[in-house]
Amino acid sequence: MTTNVARIRTALAVALLSILLSACGYNTIPTLEEQAKAKWSDVQNNYQRRADLIPNLVATVQGYANQEKDVLTAVVEARAKATQITVSADDLSDPAKVRAFQEAQGQLGGALGRLLAISENYPDLKSNQNFLALQSQLEGTENRITVARRDYIEAVRAYNTALRTFPGVLWAKTFFRGSKPMAEFTANDGAETPPAVKF
C-alpha cells in the first residue's frame, strides 16, 4: 500500500512540476528561438526569389539597352555576390555575418534600382509586357522582403528580450547557456539617400 501511495505522490509531483515549468517560461526561449529562425528562413526565401527574377529582368533590359552594359554588369555582379553570402540559422548570433549578408543584399538592391531607373530612357522597354511583368514581380518581392525583415526583427526582439528579462534570464543562465542574442537588421550606411542615377 505504501508503494502505491509513493507512486501517486511521485506522479502528482511530476504533474505539478510539469505545470510549474510550463507556466514559468521554460519553453519560452526555445520557442522564440525557433520562431526567429523560421522568420530568417522567410527573409532568405524572399531574397532568393529576388535573385531568381534578376536574370530574366537583365535579359529583357539587355535586348533594349545594349549601351547600358555597365549597369547590367553591376547588377549581375551584385547578384553573384549576394547569392554567395549565406547566413544559416546558427549564424544569427554573429552580427558580422548578418551585416555582411545585409550589405551584399543592399548593394544588389541599389544596382536593381539603377537598372529600373534606366528604363525611363527607353519607351519601348517601358511598354514591353515581359519587362512590366518582371518589374511588377520585383516590386512585389521587394515588399515581401520588407515584411519578412520586419517579422524577423520582431521575432529577434522577442527572443533577445526573453534572454534578458525574468524569468527567461534564469533559464538562459542555467539550461540554455548556449543561447546567444541574435543579430538584427540595421540600416546600411547611406540608406537614407536614394541611389544616384545618372544618364
Encode pLDDT of 137-166 as tens digits: 999 999 999 999 999 999 999 999 999 998
Q: Longest C-alpha distance within the chain, in Å?
A: 93
Q: What is the pTM of this model?
A: 0.77
Q: CA-to-CA distance for 134 and 145, rounded, in angstroms?
A: 16
User: Of 54, 175, 61, 55, whose CA–CA distance to 118 is shortest?
Assistant: 61
Q: CA-to-CA distance for 113 and 122, rounded, in angstroms?
A: 15
Each domain of the chain, given as residue ranges in start order, spans 28-174
Which of left, alpha, beta for 96 (phi over 0: left; psi -120 to 50: alpha)?
alpha
| pLDDT of res. 130 | 85
Please say whether the beta carbons of 112 and 138 come within 8 A.
yes
Average pLDDT estimate for 1-25:
73
Residue 197 has pLDDT above 50, yes or no: no
Q: CA-to-CA distance for 120 and 127, rounded, in angstroms?
A: 11
| pLDDT of res. 24 | 65
Average pLDDT estimate for 14-42:
81
Average pLDDT estimate for 114-143:
86
Percent of the chain whose predicted confidence (pLDDT) is above 90: 46
In one-letter notation, the amino acid at residue 19 is I
- Exposure string for 113-122, b = 16+ CB within 10 A, e = fewer: ebbbbbbeee
The cell for 38 is: 523560421
In one-letter notation, the amino acid at residue 154 is E
Residue 70 has pLDDT above 80, yes or no: yes
Residue 22 has pLDDT above 80, yes or no: no
Q: CA-to-CA distance for 5 and 127, rounded, in angstroms?
A: 83
Please say whether the beta carbons of 36 and 92 come within 8 A.
yes
Q: Tell the residue number behind the cell numbers 507512486, with chain if given.
A: 7
Which CATH fold would you assign to the domain 28-174?
A: de novo design (two linked rop proteins) (1.20.1440)
